[in-house]
Amino acid sequence: MNIAKTKIEKLLEKAGLKINGKNSYDPQVLNEKLYARVLLGGSLALGESYVDGWWEAKSLDRFFYKVLSADLEKEFIFSFIENWRALYGLAFNLQSAKRAFQVGQKHYDIGNDIYQSMLGKTMTYSCGYWKKANNLNKAQEAKLDLICKKINLKKGDYILDIGCGWASFLKFAAENYRAKGLGITVSKEQAEFAREFCKGLPVKIQLLDYRSIAGKFDHIVSVGMFEHVGTKNYRTFMKKAGELLKDEGLFLLHTIGSDKSYFSSDKWVTKYIFSNSMLPSMAQIAKSAEGIFAIEDLHNFGADYDKTLMAWFDNFEKSWPKFQAKYGERFYRMWKYYILISAANFRARKIHLWQIVLSKKGVPGGYKSVR
């Protein structure tokens, strides 16, 4: 009798899932060793076994949506290694200045070609705003415009973009609002692309850690970068932003967030996708900003990230044949797993997307929210 299999079968039944069932979301087990591997290894083993081809689900996002909606992740026994890594993240600063460039080298430097095919013409690697949009490009342009409006961007304003990526925001702000900007990134590939992307515009791009920035800026934005800062550095990040922002300026922080405060992230994600990543809670953000910033506005549109990720996956699937020889089957399975488990997390409202507007001294007369 396979005790591990029986236990997992009973867990999956709670989510309406059946091993080797007929539904598109039912997991198909291709290696019987999977059950013990997952029970002993937790989320890391689940992801690694998928990449290894030990199991499959036709609708992987729907499988994870059902698992997460039923809170099954709370019932798994996590391995000693996972628990040790969580304690290690609590004891040590995994996002120190010396380690800052690791995520750039591992994730963002894999090749601009695959990102160009996946992200669309704006090259925006963050949640789109789908309130009135009917496709990915429009959703991303709406998000970029929303940020400009939230910080009340004006002609000639000098903006700092911390974690600028391929410079989609700075390009949009310069072309549509005639603003100037400095963007920093820890990715060499992003920096090279961004400089060409913004050629002829009053935008500078630097390969730099946020702790090394100098200057004064009318406004600051940080879009999808705070997830790499780490709990031991949240206060340092806020102090630095406060030092760089002019007294009358606004700081918009766009970040994925968690309902609970953690000191480590999913082990598969940190090992294979985002090195040293960590999702902040609202409590952690508020504490780190205390005495430095006033929170003027909070906007949660995390449900839009599900749509964004599914649009990225559709682009990835369509373009995969031209990348197959370069990246290989294991990369395909890893990338598919990463995108679709992320979509399921947002769909199940396990994680959120927050845009937070902060000021140094409070907006005179009050901040007027933009949606």
The confidence score (pLDDT) of residue 107 equals 65
The confidence score (pLDDT) of residue 85 equals 45
Same domain, yes or no, for 115 and 260? Answer: yes
Residues in the chain: 371
Helices (H), 231-302: 234-244, 267-272, 282-289
The confidence score (pLDDT) of residue 78 equals 45
Same domain, yes or no, for 16 and 72? Answer: yes
The confidence score (pLDDT) of residue 356 equals 98
The confidence score (pLDDT) of residue 77 equals 46
The confidence score (pLDDT) of residue 263 equals 74
**pTM: predicted TM-score of the whole model, two decimal places:** 0.91
Same domain, yes or no, for 66 and 109? Answer: no
DSSP single-letter state for residue 290? T
Same domain, yes or no, for 120 and 61? Answer: no
Same domain, yes or no, for 173 and 57? Answer: no
The confidence score (pLDDT) of residue 87 equals 45
Where do we find the tokens 């091993």? 19
The parent domain of residue 163 ranges over 99-300+349-359
First to last CA, the chain: 57
Same domain, yes or no, for 185 and 265? Answer: yes
Cα–Cα distance, 143 to 140 (Å, whole number): 5
**Number of domains the chain contains:** 2
The confidence score (pLDDT) of residue 271 equals 87
Q: Report residue 362 as tokens.
A: 């409070």
- Among residues 22, 43, 78, the one where a domain terminates is 78
Cα–Cα distance, 90 to 100 (Å, whole number): 17
Same domain, yes or no, for 60 and 124? Answer: no
How far apart, in Å, are the Cα atoms of 67 and each of 63, 144, 159, 294? 6, 33, 42, 38
Query: Which residues, including other chains, have CB under 8 Å from residue 238's CB and lie 6 or more apart?
Result: 288, 289, 292, 293
Cα–Cα distance, 159 to 143 (Å, whole number): 17
The confidence score (pLDDT) of residue 76 equals 58
The confidence score (pLDDT) of residue 274 equals 83
Q: Report residue 238 as tokens.
A: 């806020």
pLDDT along the chain (371 residues), means of 10: 89 96 98 94 94 98 96 63 45 52 60 92 97 97 98 98 98 98 95 97 97 97 95 96 98 96 82 86 97 98 98 97 95 96 96 98 96 96
Cβ atoms within 10 Å, residue 328: 11
Same domain, yes or no, for 175 and 107? Answer: yes
Query: Which residues, including other chains, have CB under 8 Å from residue 129's CB and lie 6 or more apart?
Result: 139, 140, 142, 143, 146, 301, 304
The confidence score (pLDDT) of residue 106 equals 53
Cα–Cα distance, 73 to 110 (Å, whole number): 30
